[in-house]
């Protein structure tokens, strides 16, 4: 059972939330000014005077950022020496943390102020700070830097880890044709072509993304095996063509509301026949092994609200299964937390 907080502890927790955004920026500054790296390089700890001497930052700035970092548990001060803590080490060296911090700082931070309006209006009101698009997806390939780099690193970090194990699942029946719905820059499609020399892929996505995918496929000499189909799946009149052995949706359905997911899956249903397998690869927030993973996924839902589209989120696994059923598919197999990833795969067949 969770320990009940005392009033004093609860008040402290509330202050962490109150000042959280500023403390976040103080850690970004500590990292980007090189101070955290310098502290990390001094295994036995380092005095504040030495930090001031070695860094090209004012005494004021160093003291300020170190006081904040100590409060946050990013550094500790023992016998007047500043040392990096485990948390500080993760902020500096852990890939997932680095990617999450950059995503937060470069993509979400400025728009986060629009949370209330986004929820009221069901629109990503924070997106205006990056560009004038109805959803972030129309702007993905043309986002201003550093938002673009940080968005793609965030997206790829999570899906890349799942692909090796997912390939084994998808290719167990040796499909000849795969439709990669929301195929983005083509990473999954290229992995498929690499894994199986016979498979043919069709990437379906918004036109702006297909430009990048086509360019990438050209560079890899894969134009004879991959073709491209521009589609806006929010438009009911645009249908997914028939003919796929596998319909693949990776980190795709979380970009939509429940009603939209049903509409898109019904579209996939009309494209499927009894042989077609629909695979859904998603990080479901309620079946994670680590609290950091669940925390990150719930945070990602907030990003969808303010920056992506104002109406989507990360889902619980049973919620997604129910949407699959409502669209006319049945989940015939669940592969929970495949490989070294946060993702599960739902293998689905058309209910006839
Ligand atoms: C989060 S990315 C996932 C990319 C990739 N499948 C992966 O696993 O990394 C979502 C993709 O869905 C596409 N998408 C979003 N809205 C769409 C729509 N209305 N119609 C078609 N594709 C859409 C985006 O352009 C983007 O490529």
39-59 per-position pLDDT tens digit: 999 999 999 999 999 999 999
> Is the model's pLDDT at 341 over the cut of 90?
no
The confidence score (pLDDT) of residue 121 equals 97
314 CB within 6 A, ligand 1: no
CA 159–ligand 1 middle distance (angstroms): 12
CA neighbours closer than 13 Å in the CB half-sphere of residue 151: 23
Number of CB atoms found within 10 A of residue 183's CB: 27
Q: What is the mean pLDDT of residues 249-271?
A: 97
341 CB within 6 A, ligand 1: no
182 CB within 6 A, ligand 1: yes
The confidence score (pLDDT) of residue 1 equals 65
> Are the beta carbons of 153 and 145 closer than 8 angstroms?
no
The confidence score (pLDDT) of residue 125 equals 98
The confidence score (pLDDT) of residue 223 equals 97
Q: Which CATH architecture has domain 7-93?
A: Orthogonal Bundle (1.10)
Question: Which ligand 1 atom sits closest to the C-alpha of 160?
Answer: 9
Q: Where are the domains of the chain?
A: 7-93, 97-350
| Cα 174 to Cα 62, 168, 212, 216, 240, distances in angstroms | 59, 10, 27, 25, 22
Helix intervals (H) in 42-195: 48-54, 59-72, 86-93, 95-103, 115-121, 147-170, 187-195
The confidence score (pLDDT) of residue 2 equals 75
69 CB within 6 A, ligand 1: no
DSSP category for residue 249: E
Q: Which of 252, 265, 283 to mutate to test the pocket of ligand 1 (most atoms within 8 A of CB)?
A: 252
Q: What is the mean pLDDT of residues 15-36?
A: 98
Q: What is the mean pLDDT of residues 172-200?
A: 97
> Considering all CA atoms of the chain, what is the largest pairwise distance in Å, rounded to the nearest integer?
74
Q: Across the chain, what does the average pLDDT equal? A: 96
The confidence score (pLDDT) of residue 300 equals 96
Query: What confidence tier does 251 reach under pLDDT thresholds 50, 70, 90?
Result: very high
- What digits encode the pLDDT tens for the residues 123-151? 999 999 999 999 999 999 899 999 999 99
> Are the beta carbons of 300 and 314 closer than 8 angstroms?
yes
The confidence score (pLDDT) of residue 339 equals 87
Query: What confidence tier does 167 reach under pLDDT thresholds 50, 70, 90?
Result: very high
The first and second tokens of residue 167, run together, are 């390939």
The confidence score (pLDDT) of residue 203 equals 98
Reduce the DSSP state of residue 334 to 3 states and report it: strand
The rounded distance, in Å, linking the Cα atoms of 143 and 150 is 10
In percent, the amount of the chain with pLDDT more than 70 equals 100
Question: Which residues are CB-neighbours of 33 under 8 A, at least 6 positions away?
Answer: 55, 57, 61, 65
CA 120–ligand 1 middle distance (angstroms): 25
Check: pTM over 0.75? Answer yes or no.
yes
The confidence score (pLDDT) of residue 352 equals 80
Question: Which ligand 1 atom sits closest to the C-alpha of 155?
Answer: 9
> Is the model's pLDDT at 323 over the cut of 70?
yes
CA 156–ligand 1 middle distance (angstroms): 12
The rounded distance, in Å, linking the Cα atoms of 20 and 44 is 29
159 CB within 6 A, ligand 1: yes
Task: Name the residue with tokens 């990437």.
Answer: 203
311 CB within 6 A, ligand 1: no
CATH number of 97-350: 3.40.50.150
């Amino acid at each position: 059972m969770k320990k009940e907080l005392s009033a004093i502890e609860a008040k402290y927790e509330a202050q962490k939330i109150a000042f959280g955004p500023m403390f976040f920026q103080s850690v970004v500054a500590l990292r980007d000014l090189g101070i955290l790296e310098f502290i990390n390089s001094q295994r036995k700890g380092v005095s504040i005077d030495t930090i001031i001497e070695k860094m090209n930052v004012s005494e004021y700035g160093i003291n300020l950022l170190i006081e904040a970092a100590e409060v946050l548990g990013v550094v500790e001060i023992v016998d007047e020496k500043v040392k990096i803590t485990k948390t500080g080490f993760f902020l500096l060296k852990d890939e997932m943390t680095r990617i999450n911090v950059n995503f937060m700082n470069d993509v979400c931070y400025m728009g986060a102020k629009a949370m209330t309006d986004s929820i009221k209006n069901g629109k990503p009101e924070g997106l205006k700070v990056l560009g004038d698009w109805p959803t972030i997806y129309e702007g993905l390939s043309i986002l201003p830097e550093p938002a673009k780099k940080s968005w793609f690193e965030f997206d790829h970090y999570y899906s890349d880890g799942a692909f090796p194990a997912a390939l084994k699942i998808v290719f167990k029946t040796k499909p000849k044709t795969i439709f990669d719905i929301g195929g983005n820059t083509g990473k999954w499609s290229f992995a498929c072509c690499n894994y199986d020399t016979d498979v043919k892929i069709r990437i379906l996505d918004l036109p702006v993304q297909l430009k990048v995918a086509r360019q990438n496929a050209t560079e890899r000499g894969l134009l004879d095996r991959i073709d491209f189909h521009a589609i806006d799946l929010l438009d009911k009149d645009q249908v997914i063509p028939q003919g796929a052995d596998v319909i693949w949706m990776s980190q795709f359905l979380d970009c939509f509301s429940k009603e939209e997911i049903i509409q898109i899956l019904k579209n996939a249903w009309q494209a499927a026949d009894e042989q077609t397998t629909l695979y859904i690869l998603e990080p479901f927030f309620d079946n994670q092994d680590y609290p950091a993973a669940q925390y990150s996924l719930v945070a990602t839902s907030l990003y969808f609200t303010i920056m992506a589209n104002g109406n989507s989120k990360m889902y619980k696994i049973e919620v997604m299964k129910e949407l699959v059923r409502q669209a006319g598919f049945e989940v015939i197999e669940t592969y929970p937390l495949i490989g070294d990833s946060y993702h599960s795969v739902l293998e689905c067949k058309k209910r006839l």
